[in-house]
Chains A and B, each alone.
Chain A
Amino acid sequence: NAGVTQTPKFQVLKTGQSMTLQCAQDMNHNSMYWYRQDPGMGLRLIYYSASEGTTDKGEVPNGYNVSRLNKREFSLRLESAAPSQTSVYFCASSPWVQETQYFGPGTRLLVL
C-alpha cells in the first residue's frame, strides 16, 4: 500500500503559468482533501471531495480548481499561478468526512 501519493514533489512556475497537482490514494477512501501550508499558518483547506462526484470549497479556494477524477484520484489545478500561491500543498484522504485523514508527502510549489 502506497497510501497517498502526490506528483510532482517540487515545481517552479512563472507568474501566469498553469499546472495541475496530482493526488492518488489506494486505501479505498471516499473523502479527499487539498490543503496548503504556509509558514506560521498551519494547514488551510483549499477544496475537498466528501465522496466521488462531489467537490466543495474550503477556507481558501480562490485561484484553484479541483477535479475528482474517480474514487482514487483528486487533482488540484492552478489556472494562472501567482506568487501568493507559493506554498507546500498536501493532499489527504479519509474513509469518510470526520474520520482520520492521511496525508501525502506534499508538493513544494514556487511561483516566481
Chain B
Amino acid sequence: AQKVTQAQTEISVVEKEDVTLDCVYETRDTTYYLFWYKQPPSGELVFLIRRNSFDEQNEISGRYSWNFQKSTSSFNFTITASQVVDSAVYFCALSERSYGGSQGNLIFGKGTKLSVKP
C-alpha cells in the first residue's frame, strides 16, 4: 500500500541554520510522483516541487533543495540559511497509479511543523 511518512512532527531552529525535513514513502508502482507543499500560518497550501520517479537528479531552487533517493525511498527537503518566513507546516505527498483504485490521487504525510526563531 502507498504511504508517506514524515517522522519529524516538529522542528525548531534559529534563523540562518540549515534544516532538513525528511520524507520516506512506500509504493508498489514503478511510476510515481513526489511532491512537497508548504502551509504557512495563514493556512493556504503552496506547491513547492514535483518530481517523477525516473528523475533522481537533485533539485535546487534558491535556498531550497531536494534530495531524491529511490534506493532508500526518500525525498528529503533542505532549507539553507533558514528565515523566519520559512516557518510553516511542510507536507510531502505521493501520487501513483493504484491497482483497481484511484489513479493519481495524492497521499499526504502528516506534515512537519517548522519554527524558525529570530
- Chain A residues in the interface with B (C-beta under 8 A): 31, 33, 40-45, 48, 50, 56-58, 88, 90, 92, 96-103, 105-106
Contact = CB atoms under 8 A, between A and B. Distances in A.
Given A97-B104, A101-B35, 8 more contacts: A42-B108, A42-B111, A43-B91, A43-B108, A45-B102, A56-B102, A98-B33, A98-B103
Contact of A33 (B33, B44, B103, B105): B105
Interface string B69-108: 0000000000000000000000100010100001111101
Given A40-B110, A88-B43, A90-B45, A98 B104 contact: yes
B63 interface: no
User: Size range of the interface on B?
Assistant: 20 to 34
Nearest to B50: A100
A60 to B, nearest CB: 12
Nearest to B35: A100
7 contacts: A31-B104, A40-B110, A41-B110, A42-B108, A99-B50, A102-B47, A105-B44
Nearest to B110: A42
A17 to B, nearest CB: 24
Contacts of A58: 102, 105
Contacts of B102: 45, 48, 56-58
Contacts of A102: 47
Contact of A97 (B47, B91, B103, B111): B103
B106 A101 contact: yes
Contacts of B105: 33, 45, 48, 58, 97
Nearest to B108: A42
A101 B50 CA distance: 10
User: What 9 A-B pairs are tightest by C-beta distance, nearest first?
Assistant: A97-B104, A98-B104, A42-B108, A103-B45, A42-B110, A43-B108, A100-B50, A98-B95, A97-B103
Contact of B103 (A50, A88, A101): A50
Nearest to B101: A56
Contacts of B110: 40-42
Contacts of A96: 104
